[in-house]
Amino acid sequence: MNNQQVDCGCDTIPQPLLSIDEALKILIDSAKVTNSTQLIELDGTLNRMLAIDIHADISVPSFDNSAMDGYAINLKENQINKAGGFAFEITDRIPAGSTGEALAPGCAARIFTGAPIPKNANTVLMQEECWLIENKSKIEVYKPISLGENIRPMGNDIQSGGVILPKGKRLQPQDIALAASVGIDKLSVFHKIKVGVFFTGDELVNPGNTLQQGQIFNSNRYSLVALLNNLGCEIINLGNIKDTFNATCDALKALKSACDLIITTGGVSVGEEDYIKPAIEQLGQLNLWRIKIKPGKPLAFGNLGRCAFIGLPGNPVSAMVTFLLFARPFIKKMQGAGHYLNTAFKAQTNFDWNKPKSRREFVCVRLDHTTFPTKANLYPKQCSDVLSSMVWADGLIEIPEKTTFKLGEILNFYPLNELLS
């Protein structure tokens, strides 16, 4: 301990504890959707947020076509659904990419998957159901044949004029392929948002260096940058910032005009080594929240002019969990996502909860898929500094405040692979 007088932070009036839902609502309501868009080639659109509804100008397929390699035939009225030895003369051959002639009654065209159905053909036989006879000039069929077999009608996938991709969709491989299937080569997406980050704490040292007494490696720098990369943000990283008022102000000033959002970790408590609060208050507005959540009670939210600010707690698990629960939906809304709130799944606990807690808890669990229903096992050490718990876990279970339960309780479950996508 240094020789400064210990300050208990009593000059600051503690704010009442906010519920998670209240805090999230305030955050989400104040998230401003970016309004700048860009038109980019399909290959560059993966994971980007679509800025407009996409309509189809054509139907897909744009012509009736064969679903099989086989024979397109002109089935006569008296042959429909009848069994027994009908023969059709092969008069045409239609590979995919070409068009055939109109079929005469009683005739067949050799046809391949994706080739257009010729005029007058009313059904397609799979080649496996046909016997080639008379020196392969005819086919004979024994099974009953119905009309329209193995024909993929025009518009089977997409009807011309309809919306195929909604604004705000985060583009996935299948979305990009769907746009390509209607002939679109570029898509309008929202610009990436710019997020400035820095890390407070005089104890922080970057990996690759040797630790001196009392120092720790900065792990939040890596989780935060990776989390932001996952979300497709542009990042300006100022690295470790000294625990002084001036250094904190300088970092904020350096980022505020270049960024849509600044995120920091650490320094959001109200001890005299925590400079986020006074620095933001000097340069903008700040709410220092105490949220009824574990891990991660303190969270700072504010703005420096048009640049939003989120201050995450310093403990590594708290920083990650509060990022996932609060910053992630906030960022997704800023990015223009139509769906930005986290999705809760359900899971059954394989543990009891004997002591009611005043804060809602998000605990690290791993699902056991060898039983039905799947059961969630609890990591034995749930501490805000135990990063191994996040590495072990495949999700977070939400335990409501003031509750107890016995093994088998069904609760909200947030899979990490969903939260980290």
199 binds, among Mg ion, ligand AMP, none (CB under 5 to 8 A by kind): ligand AMP
Task: State the residue for tokens 């009891």.
Answer: 352
Query: What does 102-149 look like in DSSP terms, one character per residue?
Result: PPPTTEEEEE-TTPBPPTT--EEEEGGGEEEETTTTEEEE-S-B-TTT
316 binds, among ligand AMP, Mg ion, none (CB under 5 to 8 A by kind): ligand AMP
CA-to-CA distance for 264 and 196, rounded, in angstroms? Answer: 8
315 binds, among Mg ion, ligand AMP, none (CB under 5 to 8 A by kind): ligand AMP
CB of 310 to Mg ion, least distance (A): 16
Omega cis (within 30) before 295 = yes
| Range in contact with Mg ion (rule: CB under 5 A) among 48-56, 168-176, 201-209, 412-420 | 201-209
CA-to-CA distance for 325 and 319, rounded, in angstroms? Answer: 10
CB of 232 to Mg ion, least distance (A): 29
Q: Are the CB atoms for 52 and 167 separated by under 8 Å? A: yes
| Range in contact with Mg ion (rule: CB under 5 A) among 197-205, 332-340, 360-368, 405-413 | 197-205
CB of 265 to Mg ion, least distance (A): 9
CB of 366 to ligand AMP, least distance (A): 23
DSSP 313: -
* 221 versus 332: smaller Cβ distance to ligand AMP: 221
Name the nearest CA neighbour of 219 among 77, 134, 317. Answer: 317
* 140 versus 203: smaller Cβ distance to ligand AMP: 203
CB of 268 to Mg ion, least distance (A): 9
Residues 311-340: x where in contact with Mg ion by CB under 5 A, - otherwise, as a string: ------------------------------
Residue 332 parent element (H or E): helix 328-334
418 binds, among Mg ion, ligand AMP, none (CB under 5 to 8 A by kind): none
Dihedral over Cα of 182, 187, 188, 189: its sign: positive
CA-to-CA distance for 365 and 376, rounded, in angstroms? Answer: 6
CB of 240 to ligand AMP, least distance (A): 8
CA-to-CA distance for 364 and 396, rounded, in angstroms? Answer: 5
201: contact with Mg ion by CB under 5 A: yes
Cα dihedral value 200, 204, 206, 211, nearest 10: 170
| Range in contact with Mg ion (rule: CB under 5 A) among 26-34, 193-201, 290-298, 302-310 | 193-201
Side-chain half-sphere of 379: how many Cα atoms within 13 Å?
21
CB of 222 to ligand AMP, least distance (A): 9
* 153 versus 271: smaller Cβ distance to Mg ion: 271
266: contact with Mg ion by CB under 5 A: yes
Cβ-Cβ contacts under 8 Å for 26 (sequence gap 6 or more)? 287, 301
Q: Are the CB atoms for 351 and 378 separated by under 8 Å? A: yes
Interface residues with ligand AMP (CB under 6 A) are 199-201, 203-204, 216, 218-221, 265-269, 313-316
Both tokens assigned to 328: 């992630």
218 binds, among Mg ion, ligand AMP, none (CB under 5 to 8 A by kind): ligand AMP
* 34 versus 223: smaller Cβ distance to ligand AMP: 223
CA-to-CA distance for 412 and 347, rounded, in angstroms? Answer: 6
* 232 versus 296: smaller Cβ distance to ligand AMP: 296
* 201 versus 395: smaller Cβ distance to Mg ion: 201
Residue ranges binding Mg ion (CB under 5 A): 201, 266-267
